[in-house]
């Protein structure tokens, strides 16, 4: 359609500290994007994980993805069995998926040390990206 933008959901984010870039991160993955974004930033800020640790950690996704109409709770099989069982017992429609499945999207992140300026990157083993620097 003329004069219309293509619908796209990629949503990179930038967290600043004292007005300077601190963490840059983003993901693809349909409705899972905001969930993955929240997981990555929480793991890095609140749990002091490196970008790679935050991205590598087990992931979940509630809702549709990749055009599928399934509105269930997808959990990577690396999530502890007791957690999966408890969520199912509480009525969540749980689907256990393979570890590192690309259903969870592909994320990347860069953290900049505010004191030294050293950058630390991470990329998702669920995709084919890489983190490289010079």
Beta bridge partners of 112: 119
* pLDDT exceeds 90 at position 122: yes
Residue 132 confidence (pLDDT) = 87
Quote the tokens at residue 49.
């994980």
Q: Residue 120, SS3?
A: strand
Which tens digit of pLDDT belongs to each residue from 53-74? 999 999 999 987 666 677 899 9
Query: Domains in the chain and their CATH numbers?
Result: 13-123 (3.60.20.40)
Compute the half-sphere exposure of residue 132: CA atoms within 13 Å on the CB side of its CA: 2
CA distance 66 to 59: 16
As a whole-number percent, the residues of the chain with pLDDT over 90 amount to 70
pTM for this prediction: 0.88
DSSP string, 53-86: HHHHS--EEES--TT----SEEEETTS-HHHHHH
Quote the tokens at residue 83.
């957690």
CA distance 68 to 72: 11
């Amino acid at each position: 359609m003329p004069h219309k933008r293509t619908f796209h959901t990629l949503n990179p984010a930038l967290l600043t500290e004292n007005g300077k870039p601190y963490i840059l991160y983003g993901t693809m993955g349909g409705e899972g994007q905001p969930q993955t974004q929240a997981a990555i930033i929480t793991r890095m800020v609140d749990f002091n994980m490196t970008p790679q640790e935050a991205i590598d950690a087990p992931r979940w996704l509630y809702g549709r993805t990749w055009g599928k109409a399934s509105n269930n709770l997808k959990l990577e099989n690396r999530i502890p069995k007791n957690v999966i069982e408890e969520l199912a017992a509480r009525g969540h429609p749980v689907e256990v998926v393979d570890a590192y499945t690309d259903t969870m999207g592909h994320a990347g992140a860069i953290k900049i040390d505010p004191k030294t300026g050293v950058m630390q990157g991470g990329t998702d083993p669920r995709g084919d990206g890489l983190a490289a620097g010079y």
